[in-house]
Structure 1
Amino acid sequence: MGARRLLIVSVSTGLASGIVLGTEARAAQDEETNVQNLPAIEVVAPRQAPRRAPSRAPVRSASTAKPSNRLYVYPTSPGTGRGIEVDKVPSAINAVDANQIKRTGSLNVTDALRDNIAGINISEVTGNPFQPDIEFRGFVASPVTGAPQGLAIYQNGVRINEAFSDAVNWDLIPTAAIRSVTLVTNNPAFGLNALGGAINLQMKDGFTYQGAEIDMMGGSFGRIQGSAQWGKQVDKNYGVYAALEGLHDNGFRNFSQSDVRRFYGDVGYKAGDSEFHVNMGAAKNDFGANATVPAELLDKYWGATYTTPQTTSNRVGYLNLTGKADATPTWTLEGTAHLRRYEQKLVDGNPTNVQECAIAGLLCFGDDTTPANGTNGMQLANPFASGTILGEIDRSSIRSTTFGVSGQATNTGQLLSHDNRFVMGSTYDASITRYDATAEIGSIAENYVVSGSGVFLGPTGTPVPVAGPVSLRTVNQYNGLYAMDTFNVTDAFAVTGGGRFNVARISLQDQLGTALNGDHSFTRFNPVIGGTYKITPELTAYAGYSEANRVPTPLELGCADPVRPCLLAAFLVSDPPLNQVVSKTVEAGFRGTKELNIGSLGWKVGAFRATNYDDIAAVPAVGRTGFGYFTNVGRTRRQGLEAEVNLKSPTLQFQASYAFVDARYLDAFELGSESPFRNPVTETIQVLPGDQIPAIPRHRVKLGIDYAVTDVWKVGGNAIFVSSQYLVGDESNQYTKLPSYTVFNLHTSYQVTKNFQLYGRVDNVFDRRYATYGQFFDRGALPNFANGGVDFSDPRSLSPARPRAFYAGMRVTF
């Protein structure tokens, strides 16, 4: 059965205060983290003195300068001298730079996040490696509509959680153009949905990247990919940058072809302390096989699929304007404006609740007496031969246009003769979305391919309607007002406080009737307070408390009635209210660095606890396969520990990390489930306080090493261990967990000449067969054709990970 895509709306594009470490521009071949826009957080280890320059070292097209160890909480060019020291940040610091992204050899930025940030885990809920779920501390940023989105994602200060679904389409992000990725926690200034934190992507421009590069790679499963980028600074005042990417992959599963096409460009102007940018981007991507697979089919063939077609087409185009200027020696003014157009089309083949009626020649829904009506309201005639296995092709489309503006003022003047930073700003974002969906009845062959018949469903049944055509227009308006202040009590002790006030209004306008009409408003003030203390020059302690919120989405608001559940793949049916989710987080830890004879040693350890109030969950409807509704389920809690140590030298880089995440329900509730342990009468399971939240592994261990064998030859690898996790549908924690897994990857590079590099990598070296995600499914919906057409006996449906894969590429720089 296709991964059920639930449509979620939550638009909260907020230009919030972030944290950025400034550095000077660096060569195209030696990219370095260098963030300038908001919101962001960035940490770069001090640059080591170079070894003897190799004869074939990459050519540098720009000089390097001593990096700054100061952080910026507003969108500005680095080097202005107004940043906050790294040790004044009262939260955990996680960052990935362009070199770490390049080292993966992947056009998926999520691969670099997985490898380099302790608390991040990746699962392929969709079944496609280019549309993964990112999970951090038990909160997710997922392309699957209906997932409880708990991370806000920003690109150059613009929130890119999609306007209608609030999902995150990682495939739309131009990976080659990324200068850095930073993860900010414990900061409500990032606006709506930053329950677990915010991930910010800072892009390259002509001031931070000069030169040109062409990168091509190919390998297993028909993978062919390439990228090209070019940057130039003209007359010190102008900068131009452009990147282009393309990828084709046949996939290891049936019907799993992927095609990715992306472009990004930036034109900048800099004069004195003023800087202005226009950047734009576009993407056109197509994917297949976005579904879990019954475990019994995977036992027969690891590349199996279940109910086809399963396709996704994503399109995006955007234009952003940013500017900043120093009004006085202590005041900086900044502003942004952005426009984004997003389109998505889903085709999802599934089993269906439509069946032959007791009266021959007619179709019924749910049983053999309730009429299944067409779009004209009349009962459907049965166009299929008796005994045909019926299925359904659910199609949906989203067309969203988002516009936003923001302004911010920053003051770095002293307060009471102490260093102080004060930031205040406001944001406004508006989105208009048109959503349409249809359901076509079809037949299912023994290869689980659903063939359409041209017969479409309309509203059917009482009181539960079949998913009929839906046409909905939504308007989202989000406003934010925030202020943050960091006061240096002493040179070693700094205190940060502030908050953000969010106002959200969501309007739903049913285009085919009135059932979905609604107007919902939400307000919330989220405070933050924290502090840092530099115990020694090499050791800093931090602690903080913050709150954040997310508002219900149009899907959740339009599908919240237990009496009238909706087909979670595509449809809305009614419009009752839901409460917004509020998360309260406390975080504390230590971090430090020390220079040793063998290199620079860095380490950090921290603990966190986040409690969600009025958390929202999708609840399956009893007796209706694929139907469900959204409801507030009370409190949930995510708490844990993160620890990391790394060593960096000219010849060796080593990193080891461990993350523990304990995610639990704190209140009891009941929900429908396909679990073998469900009540046979009510078809529900009882969730009790203390039960673990499914799909969140408790333990993650990561090891990575890179070693320069010679000046031109480097080798490296990494290992990732992810512990077991409960299956979705087993919220009562009664079934066996999805097994843990360990995967090993290797990579190498050889600098043939100053401008030419060969590289290669092997993923999943030991060809481990494992699944990153699992759920229960309706075993009686379709026969097990691989086992003689009997019913499935294993209730699990899994997302299989890629088998061993080999890739090789070359990189040319100019």
Structure 2
Amino acid sequence: MGVRRLLIASMSTGLVLWPDAGMAAQDEDTNVQNLPPVEVVAPERTVRRAPSRPATRVVSRPRIYVYPTAPGNAKGLDVDKVPSSINAVDANQIKRTGSLNVTDALRDNVAGVNISEVSGNPFQPNVEFRGFVASPIVGTPQGLAVYQNGVRINEAFADSVNWDLIPTAAIRSVTVVTNNPAFGLNALGGAVNLQMKDGFTYQGAEIDTMGGAFGRIQSSAQWGKQIDTNYAVYAALEGLHDNGFRNFSQSDVRRFYGDVGYKGGDSEFHVNMGLANNNFGASATVPAELLQQYWGATYTTPQTTNNRVGYVNLTGKVEATPTWTFESTAHARVFEQRVVDGNPTDVQECAAAGLLCFGNDTTPANGLNGAQLTNPFAPGTLLGEIDRTTTRSTTFGVSGQATNTDRLFDHENRFVVGASFDASVTRFNATAELGTIGTDYVVTGSGIFLGKSGTPTTGEMGPVSLRTVNQYTGLYALDTFNVTDAFAITGGGRFNHARITLEDQLGTDLNGDHTFDRFNPIIGGTYKITPELTAYAGYSEANRAPTPLELSCADPANPCLIAAFLVSDPPLKQVVSKTVEAGLRGTRELSIGTLGWKIGGFRATNYDDILAVAVPDRTGFGYFTNVGRTRRQGLEAEINIKSPTLQFQASYAFVDARFLDPLVLGSNSPFADPITQTIQVLPGDQIPAVPRHRVKVGIDYAVTDAWKVGGNALFVSSQYFVGDESNQAAKLPSYTVFNLHTSYQVNKTIQVYGRIDNIFDNRYATYGQFFDTTAVPNFTNGGNPFTDPRSLSPARPRAFYAGLRATF
């Protein structure tokens, strides 16, 4: 199935890390945020300017804001006051990957993050953190909120995230924050916050070009300048072409980001904007039997996606008094996605000669005019269909926040209160064109379009035209009080109101008006045991309202082709997550550098969790339903050493994700009941697609001042296939992958670099699911039926890349 998404920007939270170790210029203030700010202060770090310029001053105590805030707000809490786990990735770590995928930096540097290429394209991956997912795949239960400069970019139609639209070169920092309801809707497992560069925080220019395996050629350019003391300008442009290692998997990425800023007295204002126009051949999973013949195989095609976005954000901050700061933000965003998706079809020859039927040989398959279709195909022709969807979303939002740092009972105190409102209008359209499937699994259209066909028993399909309106309102207040210099407590909460309206443009089946309300509290504390050791603990709640997609496809008796042919509008309950976590973190100066470490545990329980349930023998068909309670719990541990010549990091994450209530689910599992085609899920069964163990090791060493070498290794344990919620089939095997990289500074301006990914050419899959083996024959085996129900997302083989970077 293709990928269908809609971007919505919600103004509800932000988080900033600064300064970046590899920037041409360093942060003096921060970008605009929209959530209650908690500023995390990290150890001092020596930072260099661009090689062609004199070394810049050291900017000490970089800060992370874990509540909404505006640019330049330097009044916050240090890291030892934050009662939750925090994982930060700076621009230098992103650059070190040599990739225009920010998700690669998350995979390499955040212990609990796992990446899987469910769509078959490296620019549209699933990001899974602690068993919660931010995915571009429509129909994936989403559990992470994602923000760019304080604007929520989870898409309105399905809460999905288009990672390909994020301009990677312009990223100043990425932070993964947990246990904080201030991030609004969908932050069940936490929030990913991206802060972008501006002309106050980056000065200079850089051009970076790289090429290599599978026809990869990519280039980025960025430029920043501060004009006098009041104005600053920043711009970044990126372009990429990649043929992919699989058939029909070409990618083209084009992105722009710009920012104009003003500082004057106690005020700061920014206008930032972005554009992107990306095309992908998203190959999706492929039957294991085909991969055994050719690692670059695909199943039914075409499967292409075009994503386009344009947005503008206005942010402002005023320090009204020494203890009161006021911030506000307004944004507008337009997103459009077009998907062409070749699939098997339920259309077949009727028992009566010369006609086409749907789902069986008696139910008529109708055309757009409502009349039964005649059969123009030769007898025995293998039929398919090309599903086309268009999603267009227009989003507007505003937010305001006030921060007070007056002492309370003669103790340090930080109080934040704010509000946000976002509205998004989406138009979703879908059509199905009948066609034929060739022996190369390419679906060729016939020009015949399917109208309303099928029944609630056989499953219905037909054109869809749907208009949805999302209105999200948030009110929050949080307070951090220093009981003593060593002990701080944080408390507060956020009230979320969501109204989702669905308007069927072709009938009334999809009409609906749904409202969801929830107050989510937080309570936590930190204690500085010694100057180098801090303990933290916290409890919080979060919620996710069902998306328009889920509400439009939630009837087990009337399943739909997920994200394409919606059929009904029954109610769903909102998901509520309750999380508790605790841990220790510390730093220490050693002779070889600064040692940092942390260890923590967490438990998150979802109530009324939502799951996409497949309909057996109906490729791509399913429905969404509440499945009761699920639980994710685990342990994360990390150690790192940083010095001018050595950077070392090692981490381990254990994630245990399970169902807590019994379920009966439809499945293509080989262990499904042969009559009902269902599986029995028992309390304690593990949730599929969540590997329990992740081990990451990375090292960078400066052999000389000019030459650096490094590498990283990643181990991911086995995981259950999607569709095996009863845990009866063999798991998708674990994998280990090793990567190397090096760079050489030729002179003050020029640097050359290279990398080898998957140096041992390990053939492994990052994701697996079951499929209907009877839908299409195995043409590589004489046209006989498939016998293996496994369908996999193969990882990229060994790849070599080399590049040149010029910094001015």
- TM tier relative to shorter chain: over 0.9
**Which residue of structure 1 lines up, in the alignment, with residue 97 of structure 2?**
104
CA distance in 1, matches of 2:292, 2:759: 21
CA distance in 2, matches of 1:708, 1:615: 48
Out of 716, 736, 741, the position equivalent to 2:730 is: 736
CA distance in 1, matches of 2:41, 2:522: 25
**Which residue of structure 1 lines up, in the alignment, with residue 132 of structure 2?**
139
Secondary structure at the counterpart of residue 299 of structure 1: helix
Out of 127, 144, 160, the position equivalent to 2:153 is: 160
Out of 471, 475, 489, the position equivalent to 1:477 is: 471
2:567 partner amino acid? V
Out of 388, 392, 397, the position equivalent to 1:395 is: 388
CA-to-partner distance for each residue in 1:390-440, whole Å, 9 max, x for gaps? 011111000000000000000011000000000000000000010000011
**Which residue of structure 2 lines up, in the alignment, with residue 36 of structure 1?**
31
1:37 partner amino acid? V
**Which residue of structure 2 lines up, in the alignment, with residue 656 of structure 1?**
650
CA-to-partner distance for each residue in 1:254-274, whole Å, 9 max, x for gaps? 111000000000000001221
Does structure 2 conserve the Cα–Cα contact (< 8 Å) formed by 1:10 and 1:550? no
Q: Within the alignment, does 1:95 sit opposite 2:92 as a pair?
A: no
CA distance in 1, matches of 2:249, 2:450: 28
CA distance in 2, matches of 1:798, 1:134: 17
Post-superposition offset of 1:36: 3.2
Post-superposition offset of 1:32: 7.3
Post-superposition offset of 1:329: 1.1
Post-superposition offset of 1:12: 7.1
Out of 2, 13, 19, the position equivalent to 2:10 is: 13
**Which residue of structure 2 lines up, in the alignment, with residue 446 of structure 1?**
439
CA distance in 1, matches of 2:102, 2:487: 36
CA distance in 2, matches of 1:263, 1:237: 24
CA-to-partner distance for each residue in 1:34-63, whole Å, 9 max, x for gaps? 74332587767534569xx9xx98233673
CA distance in 2, matches of 1:532, 1:660: 24
Does structure 2 conserve the Cα–Cα contact (< 8 Å) formed by 1:667 and 1:689? yes
CA distance in 2, matches of 1:771, 1:33: 44
**Which residue of structure 2 lines up, in the alignment, with residue 458 of structure 1?**
451
CA-to-partner distance for each residue in 1:59-112, whole Å, 9 max, x for gaps? 33673233125554442445x552212100000010000000000000000000
CA distance in 1, matches of 2:88, 2:404: 26
Does structure 2 conserve the Cα–Cα contact (< 8 Å) formed by 1:438 and 1:469? yes
CA distance in 2, matches of 1:330, 1:121: 41
Is the alpha carbon distance of 1:781 and 1:60 closer, same or farther for their aligned partners in structure 2, counting shifts above 3 Å?
same
Out of 755, 758, 764, the position equivalent to 2:749 is: 755
Out of 575, 595, 612, the position equivalent to 2:569 is: 575
**Which residue of structure 1 lines up, in the alignment, with residue 530 of structure 2?**
536
Secondary structure at the counterpart of residue 376 of structure 1: coil
CA distance in 1, matches of 2:140, 2:46: 46
**Which residue of structure 2 lines up, in the alignment, with residue 723 of structure 1?**
717
CA distance in 2, matches of 1:454, 1:22: 55
CA distance in 1, matches of 2:98, 2:63: 30
Q: Within the alignment, does 1:548 sit opposite 2:542 as a pair?
A: yes
CA distance in 1, matches of 2:128, 2:18: 28
Out of 557, 567, 578, the position equivalent to 1:563 is: 557
Does structure 1 conserve the Cα–Cα contact (< 8 Å) formed by 2:252 and 2:278? yes
* Pairs within 5 Å for 1:327-338: 327-338=320-331
CA distance in 1, matches of 2:191, 2:55: 31
2:11 partner amino acid? G
2:324 partner amino acid? W
CA-to-partner distance for each residue in 1:101-160, whole Å, 9 max, x for gaps? 000000000000100000000000000001001000000000000111100000000001
CA-to-partner distance for each residue in 1:550-600, whole Å, 9 max, x for gaps? 001111111111111111151111111010000000010000000011100
CA distance in 2, matches of 1:435, 1:66: 48
Is the alpha carbon distance of 1:28 and 1:619 closer, same or farther for their aligned partners in structure 2, counting shifts above 3 Å?
closer
Out of 792, 805, 810, the position equivalent to 2:804 is: 810
Out of 38, 43, 46, the position equivalent to 1:46 is: 43
**Which residue of structure 2 lines up, in the alignment, with residue 114 of structure 1?**
107
Post-superposition offset of 1:28: 3.9
**Which residue of structure 2 lines up, in the alignment, with residue 635 of structure 1?**
629
* Pairs within 5 Å for 1:309-328: 309-328=302-321
**Which residue of structure 2 lines up, in the alignment, with residue 695 of structure 1?**
689
Secondary structure at the counterpart of residue 84 of structure 1: coil
Q: Within the alignment, does 1:183 sit opposite 2:176 as a pair?
A: yes
Is the alpha carbon distance of 1:523 and 1:575 closer, same or farther for their aligned partners in structure 2, counting shifts above 3 Å?
same
Post-superposition offset of 1:624: 3.2
Is the alpha carbon distance of 1:456 and 1:48 closer, same or farther for their aligned partners in structure 2, counting shifts above 3 Å?
closer
CA distance in 1, matches of 2:26, 2:105: 15
Post-superposition offset of 1:382: 0.7
Out of 336, 348, 359, the position equivalent to 1:366 is: 359
Post-superposition offset of 1:26: 7.8
Is the alpha carbon distance of 1:69 and 1:293 closer, same or farther for their aligned partners in structure 2, counting shifts above 3 Å?
closer
Does structure 2 conserve the Cα–Cα contact (< 8 Å) formed by 1:545 and 1:587? yes
CA distance in 1, matches of 2:751, 2:611: 49
Is the alpha carbon distance of 1:70 and 1:374 closer, same or farther for their aligned partners in structure 2, counting shifts above 3 Å?
closer
Is the alpha carbon distance of 1:241 and 1:19 closer, same or farther for their aligned partners in structure 2, counting shifts above 3 Å?
closer
Out of 279, 288, 291, the position equivalent to 2:284 is: 291
> Structure 2: where are the runs of 5+ without partners?
none
Does structure 2 conserve the Cα–Cα contact (< 8 Å) formed by 1:42 and 1:93? no
Post-superposition offset of 1:165: 2.5
Does structure 1 conserve the Cα–Cα contact (< 8 Å) formed by 2:275 and 2:308? yes
Does structure 1 conserve the Cα–Cα contact (< 8 Å) formed by 2:40 and 2:80? no
**Which residue of structure 2 lines up, in the alignment, with residue 517 of structure 1?**
511
Does structure 2 conserve the Cα–Cα contact (< 8 Å) formed by 1:28 and 1:60? no
Secondary structure at the counterpart of residue 90 of structure 1: coil
> Structure 1: where are the runs of 5+ without partners?
none
Root mean square deviation, CA, Å: 1.8
Does structure 1 conserve the Cα–Cα contact (< 8 Å) formed by 2:156 and 2:548? no
Does structure 2 conserve the Cα–Cα contact (< 8 Å) formed by 1:14 and 1:190? no
CA-to-partner distance for each residue in 1:626-647, whole Å, 9 max, x for gaps? 2211110000000000000000
1:15 partner amino acid? S
CA distance in 2, matches of 1:216, 1:807: 11
CA distance in 2, matches of 1:321, 1:70: 22
Secondary structure at the counterpart of residue 286 of structure 1: strand
Does structure 2 conserve the Cα–Cα contact (< 8 Å) formed by 1:319 and 1:340? yes
CA-to-partner distance for each residue in 1:748-783, whole Å, 9 max, x for gaps? 000000010000000000000000000000001111
Q: Within the alignment, does 1:431 sit opposite 2:424 as a pair?
A: yes
Q: Within the alignment, does 1:767 sit opposite 2:764 as a pair?
A: no
Is the alpha carbon distance of 1:10 and 1:575 closer, same or farther for their aligned partners in structure 2, counting shifts above 3 Å?
farther
2:32 partner amino acid? N
TM-score after normalising by structure 1? 0.96
1:542 partner amino acid? Y
Percent pairwise identity:
76
2:332 partner amino acid? L
Secondary structure at the counterpart of residue 753 of structure 1: coil
CA distance in 2, matches of 1:11, 1:208: 27
Secondary structure at the counterpart of residue 337 of structure 2: strand
Does structure 2 conserve the Cα–Cα contact (< 8 Å) formed by 1:33 and 1:180? no
Does structure 1 conserve the Cα–Cα contact (< 8 Å) formed by 2:460 and 2:567? no
TM-score after normalising by structure 2? 0.97
1:710 partner amino acid? T
**Which residue of structure 2 lines up, in the alignment, with residue 300 of structure 1?**
293
**Which residue of structure 1 lines up, in the alignment, with residue 675 of structure 2?**
681
Does structure 1 conserve the Cα–Cα contact (< 8 Å) formed by 2:246 and 2:283? no
Post-superposition offset of 1:21: 4.9
How many residues are matched?
804
Post-superposition offset of 1:318: 0.2
Out of 43, 57, 61, the position equivalent to 1:64 is: 57
1:286 partner amino acid? N
Does structure 1 conserve the Cα–Cα contact (< 8 Å) formed by 2:665 and 2:679? yes
